[in-house]
C-alpha cells in the first residue's frame, strides 16, 4: 500500500527543520584543534676514560654564564618517575666508562619557543652543567643546546643544533662529555 501523499505544509515544515539544523551546524563553534605536548629528556655525562687537559692557571677564568641565552626561562621540572630514560642513566653509570652528571626533563606545548635555562642561574651547580636548551616545533622538530660542562677544572662546550624525530634517542659527543636527548609526544593539550 502506498503512503498517503504529503501535504505541502508537511513538506515545507520538514524543509524548514532541515534548513535550521544545517544552519545551526554551520554556525556552531568548531572545537579548537588540540595542540601537541612534547616531553623532552636530556642526559649529560662525562667520559671517564677521556684525559682531562691539565688546568692552566695563566688562562683567564671562564665567565660564570658562558652560554645562557637572553630570555631563557627555567623548565618546569619533570618528576623522576615520569622520565623515560632512567634505564639509560643506570646503564651509563654501570658501564664504568661514563658518569651521568645531569638528567633533566620537561614538557612543553608546540607554541613554547623560549630557550630553557639549564643549571643554577646564580652559580655553578653540582653538576657543572650550565647553558640553555630548546625544542622548536615547526614543520620539523628541532633541538638545540648550548652547554658548558665542567670537569676537574676544565670546561667542555657542547653545541647541538639538529632535527629530531619523535621517540628517537639522539647523541651529541664531545671529548670530555656527551649529551643524549629524546623527544616524545605525550598528549594533546586540552585533553
pLDDT digit string, tens, across residues 121-141: 555 556 788 888 989 888 889
Predicted confidence band of residue 64 (pLDDT cuts 50, 70, 90) = very low
Cell of 167: 621517540
Q: How confident is the model at residue 93 (pLDDT cuts 50, 70, 90)?
A: very high
Task: Enter the C-alpha cell of residue 74.
Answer: 627555567
| Whole-angstrom distance, CA of residue 38 vs CA of residue 187 | 7
Q: What DSSP element (H or E) covers 155?
A: strand 154-164
Contact assessment for residue 133 and residue 145, using Cβ atoms and an 8 Å cutoff: yes
Is residue 80 within 8 A of residue 128, CB to CB? The reply is no
- pLDDT at 115 > cutoff 50: yes
Predicted pLDDT at 139: 84
Amino acid at each position: 500500500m502506498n503512503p498517503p501523499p504529503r501535504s505541502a505544509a508537511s513538506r515545507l515544515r520538514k524543509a524548514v527543520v532541515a534548513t535550521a539544523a544545517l544552519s545551526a551546524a554551520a554556525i556552531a563553534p568548531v572545537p579548537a584543534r588540540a595542540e601537541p605536548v612534547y616531553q623532552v629528556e636530556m642526559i649529560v655525562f662525562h667520559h671517564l676514560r677521556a684525559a682531562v687537559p691539565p688546568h692552566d692557571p695563566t688562562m683567564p677564568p671562564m665567565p660564570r654564564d658562558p652560554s645562557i641565552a637572553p630570555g631563557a626561562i627555567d623548565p618546569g621540572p619533570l618528576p623522576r618517575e615520569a622520565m623515560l630514560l632512567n634505564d639509560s642513566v643506570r646503564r651509563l653509570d654501570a658501564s664504568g666508562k661514563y658518569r651521568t652528571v645531569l638528567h633533566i626533563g620537561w614538557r612543553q606545548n608546540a607554541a613554547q619557543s623560549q630557550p630553557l635555562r639549564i643549571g643554577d642561574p646564580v652559580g655553578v651547580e653540582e653538576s657543572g652543567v650550565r647553558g640553555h636548551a630548546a625544542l622548536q616545533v615547526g614543520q620539523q622538530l628541532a633541538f638545540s643546546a648550548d652547554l658548558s660542562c665542567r670537569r676537574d677544572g676544565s670546561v667542555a662546550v657542547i653545541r647541538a643544533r639538529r632535527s629530531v624525530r619523535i621517540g628517537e634517542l639522539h647523541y651529541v659527543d664531545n671529548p670530555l662529555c656527551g649529551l643524549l636527548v629524546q623527544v616524545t609526544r605525550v598528549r594533546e593539550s586540552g585533553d
